[in-house]
Structures are given as structure tokens and as C-alpha cells.
Amino acid sequence: MSLSTDAPALTEPECTTVSNPRRTTLAGGIAGTALGTALDDLAARLDGGIVRPADQDWDAARAAWQLGVDQHPVAVVLAASEADVARTLRLATRLGVRVAPQSSGHGAVALGPLEGAILLRTSALSTVSVDAVARTATVGAGATWGDVADAAAPHGLAGLAGSSRTVGVVGYCLGGGLGWLGRLHGLGAGSILSARVALPGGAVVIASASEHADLWWALRGGGGAGVVTELTLRLVEVPDLTAGTLWWPRARAAEVLKAWARLIPVLPREITTVARVLTFPDIEELPPHLRGAQMVLVQAAVVGSAALADRLLAPLRGLEPVMDDIAPVSPDALGHLAMDPPDPSAGAAEGVVLATFGEAAVDAWLEALDGPACAGVVAADLRQLGGALSPESGHDAALTGLAGAVAAVAVAPVTPVADAAAAAQAVAAALAALAPWASAHQYANFVEQPADEETLVGTAHDRLDTIRLSYDPDGTVLRRHGG
Ligand SMILES: Cc1cc2nc3c(=O)[nH]c(=O)nc-3n(C[C@H](O)[C@H](O)[C@H](O)COP(=O)(O)OP(=O)(O)OC[C@H]3O[C@@H](n4cnc5c(N)ncnc54)[C@H](O)[C@@H]3O)c2cc1C
């Protein structure tokens, strides 16, 4: 395994690997004082910092974007450089402690409480540099899709981002990456051109089609191995983009969703649509007509002119939406289209990929959403798949696509009247109604509870296991859905 020439020079003693059976909590056997001394030593070497349970800012440091998750690591390392990531991995390998890389914490539910592990916060590594000629972006481990959109849009370029500006690029791409441009350009994972990856022991390697190609393959939708410190991504040109929302009152949901279900199989890959049943909160930040409103929406992003959007959406416009704001936009507007919450929040969210979707599924979905068991669900989304999102044989990636017609996601916030368990039950009840149409394979980024990897990546699982054993034999780096 060759190391990158500019791997950080580390002055720590050579590591002695403690025998670590994979998928177990490793810190259990370490005497607290030995770990404390080692963390003191690490703190003195870091460019960033370290926060421990007795520190005043402990609760802020261990908090994830998903506020319902209560993370209890032994310490939080606030990495300020690639060298910090490598130093942390070197110490962890020597002591047999697991390390959980986390940027935003959007995916924290599937990770668990982190007891005995070091939480490695990468959010300060948020640099983005765009090469407009090569059409690439090189992003630090803590960059969000908002950071990339702001840097790429002035060049008429876009990354294959998802719905939210606050989601981290690395976690999103390692899990697949389903976004507005996906039906034309594929999953975000497929846009990873190369990565810098810090490995247990502290070495940093470059993974690409020509170097450590097995690791590169594993990073493209398979969760990878080690800690990514930097990704270089392919950007796409978006000369014409038309996007926005068609709105109807909730009472029209059945006819709108059935018309959408009939339309999506015949749409070309230039258009990606999402059908949504939403209950807006009654808050002052919203315009008066949306406060507390219950609506059914079809949102669309069309890589093309307004005339093309008009033609493709004509069957839905025929249902006379009460609002229609579909218009030419710049690529960075896509990060606002879904109206995802900009701030951390607590709630339950879960998704399911549906092999097929038709009128019977619409009836089952709406009957469930109308029932008392789903009373806490405020967003029930149906995301159109197909086109370049379909699995592609021969594509060099652990996850080559999502086999299905639609991905459904239900979201229920934790509120003064709905606790975490009630929110989770409401979401589960909504998705249970779609079980007859569920695909055998599920999508990692939309599965919040820890899941069996085979369900997420199918036959790629065996090769992923082999690759991880070679790069991280002791399972030092914790991953969501990593067992
Ligand atoms: C509001 C919201 C909107 C979303 N919209 C979409 C969407 O449109 N499309 C979509 O596909 N998904 C979407 N997701 C899901 C999201 O992509 C996943 O939760 C993803 O894991 C978040 O990545 P993150 O880096 O922000 O989160 P984090 O919790 O920081 O990281 C998630 C996981 O990624 C891995 N990881 C992170 N950083 C590193 C690193 N440096 N090295 C190695 N591994 C690392 C780890 O396994 C980590 O547990 C959404 C989630 C939310 C909450």
C-alpha cells in the first residue's frame, strides 16, 4: 500500500495495534487513566482541539444535527487539519479505541451512542475549491452541499447535491447521494473522482481509479473505509434549469398523487420530481397562507428551458394548482427547493425504496397518513427514481444505483406533544402501509435505523467486507450502518 507523498509527518511513537475483534466496542478494556493520558498527549499535538466530558462545551461538542441523538463518546476531537485526523487515528489504533468521523451529524441516528469511541468532528475542514475548466470541486471532509453550491454556481456548475444545503458532502456521497439532478447525472457517489483517506495507524492515501482503486470503489456508495479528509468531485454544467413547485390543498391529494404516479414512468431523465404531502408548522417565519396549512405538492427540477418544463408538467398543470412557482432558476436555488429545515432539529425520519408505484400504493399511503397512527407525520415524500439513478451494470462503484420506481420518506418531528418514541411510531406506521411495494434493497441515506449492509448494497457487500479488512482490519473507524 503506497502512501501519498504529502502524508502528514507524525511524531507520535509507532503504533502497537491492540487486538480488536471487529464490530465490538473497543474502549471497554482500556484503563481510564491510560486513555486520559493519551488524550492529554493528543490534545497537545492537535491543530484543532479536544473536548472531554468535564469541559464546559461538552454538550455542544457532542451534539449532532439530529438533536434527538444522545452521543456519549469518550472525547470529541475538533479536527482543524488532515494531520489532526491522522493523529487521532494513530492514537486510536495504538489504544484500540474506535473513531467515529462526523461532519454535520445528519446521519447520527444510524451510528448509535458512540460509547467508548472518539467522535472525530470534521466540520472545520470545510474548504471548497472549484476548477471551472476541469469541472471539478475539491472539498474538505466538513464541507456541506451549501458550501459547494455557493462556490460552483458562479461558474454555471453544480454538484450532484441532495435536497438540503446543510448535509455534508462526504457522508451523503459515501451513502449514495440522491438529488435533484440524479435522473440525468446519477448518484452523487458516482461523481467521486478521487479521495484522500486517512487510515488506522495514521497513513494518508489517495484513492482514485488509478490508485487504491478498490478503496475508491468502496467509497462510491459503499461507505468506504478509513476517514476521508478530502474528496474531488465531478461537477456538471447546468446551462438551463427550470424548477419550482405546484401546490394544491391537501384535500386534492388522491387525484394529484395518482396523476403523478401515471406521469412519472413516461418522463425523460431531464426532469426529476418529488410528490409531497406536507403539514406546515404554524410559525411566524412562514407567509400567512402557509402557516399551519396542509398541502399536496409536486416539485420539479428540469434540466432545460421553461418551455420543456411546461410540456412535461402539462398533465399536472391541468389539475389547476392553486400556486405554481415553476420558473428558470440558477443551480444554487435547488438547495432551497425542498424547504428543508436550515437548523438542527429533533425528529424521526425513515425511508423505503418501492419497486413499483401506482394507484393502489397512493390509496394505501393516504389512508395511512389520514389515520391516527400517523398523526405526527408532517412530511410524506415520494421521490421519483429511474433514469441515471437506475443500477448500471459495469459502473465502477459499490452502489451503482437504486432499483425502484420511487423512494418514500416520512418525517415526524419531536414536539411538546409527540415524544421521540411517538414520532418514530408515526413514521413506521406510514412506511408500513407501503410494505407490499417495497424493494428488497433499501437506500442507506434514507434508512435511519442501523441496517444490515446486504440490504443496502446487495452483492457488493462481500467485496466491501474484503476491502475493509485490508484497510481497517480491526474495524477502528465506525460507520453508519457499520454494525
Ligand atoms: C434534512 C435532511 C435532508 C436529507 N436529504 C437527502 C437527500 O436529498 N438525498 C440523500 O441521498 N440523502 C439525504 N439525507 C440523508 C443524508 O445524506 C445522510 O444522513 C448522510 O449520511 C449525511 O451525511 P453528513 O456528513 O451530513 O452526516 P454525518 O452524520 O456527519 O455523517 C454520516 C456518516 O457518513 C460517514 N462519514 C461522514 N464523514 C466521513 C468522513 N470524513 N470519512 C468517512 N466517513 C464519513 C460516517 O459513516 C458517518 O456516520 C438527508 C438527511 C437530512 C437530515
pLDDT tens for residues 424-435? 999 999 999 999
- What cell was used for 81? 487539519
All structural domains of the chain with their residue ranges: 242-446
**Average pLDDT of 128-145?**
98
Lowest mean per-residue pLDDT among 256-260, 331-335, 454-458, 475-479: 454-458
Instruction: Kindly indicate the confidence band of residue 5, based on its pLDDT and cuts at 50, 70 and 90.
Output: very low
Residue of 66 and 297 predicted with greater confidence: 297
Question: Is the domain covering 242-446 a CATH 3.40.50.2300 domain?
Answer: no
Tell me how far the alpha carbon of residue 69 lies from the centroid of ligand 1, in angstroms: 14
68 lines ligand 1 (CB under 6 A): no
Instruction: Kindly indicate the confidence band of residue 275, based on its pLDDT and cuts at 50, 70 and 90.
Output: very high
Q: Which atom of ligand 1 is nearest to the CA of 479?
A: 47
Which pairing describes strands 128-131 and 118-121: parallel, antiparallel, or unpaired? unpaired
Q: What is the pLDDT of residue 32?
A: 64
Instruction: Kindly indicate the confidence band of residue 436, based on its pLDDT and cuts at 50, 70 and 90.
Output: very high
* Atom 3 of ligand 1, nearest CA residue: 164
Identify the top-confidence range among 57-71, 97-111, 222-236, 273-287.
222-236
- What cell was used for 64? 449532532
**Average pLDDT of 363-371?**
97
Q: What is the pLDDT of residue 199?
A: 98
Say which amino acid occupies 436. Answer: P
172 lines ligand 1 (CB under 6 A): yes
222 lines ligand 1 (CB under 6 A): no
Environment class of residue 295 by beta-carbon count within 10 Å: exposed (0-12), middle (13-18) or buried (19+)?
buried
Q: What is the pLDDT of residue 30?
A: 52
Instruction: Kindly indicate the confidence band of residue 452, based on its pLDDT and cuts at 50, 70 and 90.
Output: confident
Query: Ligand 1 pocket: which of 147, 174, 353 to mutate (most atoms <8 Å of CB)?
Result: 174
Tell me how far the alpha carbon of residue 447 lies from the centroid of ligand 1, in angstroms: 11
- Whether 409 and 362 have beta carbons less than 8 Å apart is answered as no
Instruction: Kindly indicate the confidence band of residue 342, based on its pLDDT and cuts at 50, 70 and 90.
Output: confident
Q: How far apart are CA 91 and CA 78, in angstroms?
A: 15
- What cell was used for 482? 457499520
Give the residue from 178, 314, 336, 333 showing the smallest Cα distance to 242.
333
Residue of 281 and 155 predicted with greater confidence: 155
**Average pLDDT of 438-464?**
91
- For the cut 60, the answer to whether the pLDDT of residue 6 exceeds it is no
Give me the phi and psi of 97, to 5 degrees please.
-105, 140
Instruction: Kindly indicate the confidence band of residue 208, based on its pLDDT and cuts at 50, 70 and 90.
Output: very high
The number of CA neighbours under 13 Å toward the Cβ of 340 is 20
105 lines ligand 1 (CB under 6 A): yes
- Whether 366 and 161 have beta carbons less than 8 Å apart is answered as no
Give the residue from 288, 186, 177 showing the smallest Cα distance to 231.
177
